[in-house]
Amino acid sequence: MPAERLPMRKIKEVLRLKWDCGFGNRQIARSCGIARSTVGEYLRRASIAKLSWPLPEELTEARIEQLLFPPLLAIPAAERPLPIWADVHFELRRKKNVTLALLWEEYREQSLNGYQYSRYCDLYRAWAGKLHLWMRQEHKAGEKLFVDYCGQTVPITDPSDGTVHEAAVFVAVLGASSYAYAEATRTQQLPDWINAHVRAFAFIGGVTELVCHDNLKSGVTTPCWYEPEGNQTYLNMLAHYDTASLPGRVRHPRDQAKVEAGVQIVQRWILARLRNRKFFSLAELNAEIRRLLENLNQRAFKKLPGSRRSQFETLDQPALKPLPLEPYVYSEWMKATVQLNYHIEVEKHFYSVPYQLYKQSLEVRLTAQTVECLHKGQRVASHLRSFVPFKYTTVTEHMPPAHRSQAEWTPERLAKWARQSGPLTMKLVEAIMESRLHPQQGFRACVGVMRLGKAYSAERLEAACGRALRLEAISYKSIKSILKNGLDRQPVPVSTPPAAPINHPNIRGSEYFHGGGSC
């Protein structure tokens, strides 16, 4: 029995992988990060409790725990018959879904006093350990996708300054058909690792039951021979595609033999052909990799019939699980505090949130296109992501009422409002905005002019604007002074044009006194 009871969510995951996905105990143990004996013990208890998948909705977690852990009953010791281990070994290799748990159940049906499951497994492993045979791995159709990075990199030259960056090359190989996928990524960091998987799934047009990888930190946070701890973001991506992680054992390169061979082939048949090429962008490099990849998958095998492509179409493709409706979107999480101006700072850009959240700490989810703000698990704002530093992205509904009313003013709206008082008022408002370097600098003066119409009437405001335009007194203070002093009710003084200069030979002009004349 397990040394300690697992959380109920992990027990349910064990049952799901076993009964819904058909995984073996070893695969379940690696995927869930628990011991294989623990997996076997929980499956044995579930079998005795007659549980099935999916679990009934009315079955509470407390009830499941009661069924799995009933009070222990003392069983008298008795002679227990041994199974024929050679037959057990043969059955395990013959069929995909045959497991030790199933064979143990059949053994107990014939031998009621036989060994318990844990002892049964121990005895089988002891027998199998004496074989000392290295067997060639047989990969079942649609079961495994092996992924890794090439040891070789490809230089990319920045055309702007000539600097060279070494791009990594991601490789994915299907187990049964050896159908290969490859692409160059800027780094081997988590975002590139995740997005390379997304594109690999799209390339093969489906999802395998398992994704096998080595102990790259982007996939495994804590390498361990018994219980490797997976990267949570990586596990979330795999869960989105309804598949599971199967990290290779430390210092066991045979676990990754398929992808190691794929990496070698990609380096020889693709990267070697690009060794004399100079690339100036990642997109340019990937276009060439994709072209050579098609040729690689179409090449005929030397010792087997067909090619990787034909084997893929025959074996792996029909067995793949369908892709989800939407591809996985890589996201990063961070925390941000709402500032006094009801904005949060994300990578030197500022995004608005409801002003009521001032001083609150928010969780921010970043994708390549969006910025999503959450408060206590509830989304409170969402914006298109901007990479322009020190700029603001503001939603009007997030602003306080006083700020909102001011922000709603635009030159078009002010002109439309002024037109209601009359054409001269509209002309003066437009003149005020045109007189400023930026129209927004004249908004306050225009609003002030329009409010004078409420105090003095639209007719008087129209007359005052006409007088101000004729006198070229284009300002709020001029309109206010005209209305306050009642000048809008008085005729505009007609300015007398200057008299024409007298042209006579006895009259000296200004040129005479600037050095043009003589005594």
The tokens of 367 are what?
């994708």
The tokens of 77 are what?
């010791």
Instruction: Kindly state whether residues 395 and 269 are assigned to the same domain.
Output: no
Res 72 pLDDT > 50: no
Q: Average the pLDDT over 293-302 and give the result.
A: 87
Residue range 318-328, pLDDT digits in tens = 989 999 999 98
User: In this structure, is residue 511 part of a structural domain?
Assistant: no
Higher pLDDT among residues 353 and 40, named by residue? 353
Dist CA 380 CA 199 (whole Å): 31
Domain of residue 360, residue span: 332-401
Instruction: Kindly state whether residues 69 and 189 are assigned to the same domain.
Output: no
Dist CA 109 CA 137 (whole Å): 32
From the list 234, 208, 210, the residue with the least C-alpha distance to 220 is: 234
Q: How confident is the model at residue 220 (pLDDT cuts 50, 70, 90)?
A: very low
Instruction: Kindly state whether residues 263 and 151 are assigned to the same domain.
Output: yes
By DSSP bridging, strand 370-375 and strand 361-366 are antiparallel
Dist CA 172 CA 212 (whole Å): 10
Q: How confident is the model at residue 403 (pLDDT cuts 50, 70, 90)?
A: low
Dist CA 410 CA 438 (whole Å): 12
Among 67-81, 141-155, 177-191, 352-366, the least confident range? 67-81
Give every CB contact of residue 364 below 8 A, 6+ residues apart in sequence: 333, 334, 335, 336, 344, 346, 371, 372, 373, 374
Directed axis angle between helix 117-128 and helix 36-48, to 10°? 140
Q: State the chain's mean pLDDT as an integer.
A: 80
User: In this structure, is residue 503 part of a structural domain?
Assistant: no
Q: Average the pLDDT over 507-513 and give the result.
A: 57
Q: Average the pLDDT over 218-247 and give the result.
A: 66
Scanning the structure block, which residue is given the tokens 């007194």?
473
User: In this structure, is residue 208 part of a structural domain?
Assistant: yes
Instruction: Kindly state whether residues 173 and 82 are assigned to the same domain.
Output: no
* pTM exceeding the 0.75 threshold for the entire prediction: no
Instruction: Kindly state whether residues 163 and 78 are assigned to the same domain.
Output: no
Q: What is the pLDDT at residue 371?
A: 93
Phi-psi region of 13 (alpha: psi -120 to 50; beta: other; left: phi over 0): alpha
Instruction: Kindly state whether residues 75 and 182 are assigned to the same domain.
Output: no
Q: What is the pLDDT at residue 227?
A: 40
**Measured on CA atoms in the order 164, 218, 142, 94, is the torsion positive or negative?**
positive
Q: What is the pLDDT at residue 500?
A: 59
Residue range 455-474, pLDDT digits in tens = 888 899 999 999 999 988 88
Scanning the structure block, which residue is given the tokens 């000048």?
487
> With contact defined as beta carbons under 8 Å apart, do 100 and 92 qualify?
yes
Q: What is the pLDDT at residue 291?
A: 93
Q: What is the pLDDT at residue 228?
A: 42
Res 77 pLDDT > 50: no
Q: Average the pLDDT over 161-167 and give the result.
A: 89
Q: What is the pLDDT at residue 392?
A: 85
Strand partners, 246: 212
By DSSP bridging, strand 180-185 and strand 210-213 are unpaired
- Element holding 380 (H helix, E strand): strand 378-384
